[in-house]
Amino acid sequence: MNARKPTPLAKIRLLTLDVDGVLTDGRLYFGARGESLKVFHVRDGHGIKLLAASGVTVAVISGRRSPAVAARMRELAVAHVVQGCGDKVRALAQLARKLNVAPLEAACLVDDTPDLPLMTAVGFAGAVADAHRLVVAAAHWGAKSPGGQGAVRELCDAILRARARSR
């Protein structure tokens, strides 16, 4: 795991999530007209709602574009959704400025090597259980669940527990 000291979970004000491999199991379903389906875990969605209700902003930053992601995030009232993003560190910086949140008050949950730069830009970097080995090595925290199968809920619950203990 990452040698850099993480920001305490109780101080996290922004959680950024990748989509494919984090909110989903990473499989892409393509029909004759292109991508048509993504599967999201209901417990991850409930964790997002609980975290948002506690005052932590949740955002999605994804390299891909998908109408299914937009629909699911609308359903969860996640207002900050960046899709088709080629530079997640820049997207984080812009979002942090907009929300008046220091990047070190942000956490991310990711699964693959394109997200390594984002992991170094946040105060707390998490990896799903089935993340690439380099991502696991760079993470401050690792979920027990794989992407799309409750990993997001695990991190949401950990942040909520830390916030409750710090009161």
Provide the residue type at 68 as one letter. A
* pLDDT at res. 57: 98
* Neighbouring residues of 151: CB distance < 8 A, sequence distance ≥ 6: 22, 44, 109, 128, 129, 143, 144, 145
- Average per-residue pLDDT in the chain? 95
Which carries the bigger pLDDT value, residue 103 or residue 2? Answer: 103
Question: Is the distance from CB of 36 to CB of 30 less than 8 angstroms?
Answer: yes
Q: Where are the alpha helices (DSSP H) in 16-126?
A: 42-53, 67-75, 88-99, 116-121
Q: What is the DSSP string of 65-94?
A: --HHHHHHHHHTT--EEE-S-S-HHHHHHH
Q: Which two tokens stand for residue 59?
A: 């955002």
The Cα 9–Cα 118 span in angstroms is 17
Domains of the chain: 9-105+121-152 (3.40.50.1000)
* pLDDT interval class at 2 (50, 70, 90): confident
pLDDT tens for 111-163 read 999 999 999 999 999 999 999 999 999 999 999 999 999 999 999 999 999 99
pLDDT tens for 66-89 read 999 999 999 999 999 999 999 999
C-alpha 14 chain-centroid distance: 10
What pTM, to 2 d.p., does this model score? Answer: 0.95
DSSP 104: G
Lowest mean pLDDT among 30-39, 46-55, 145-154: 30-39
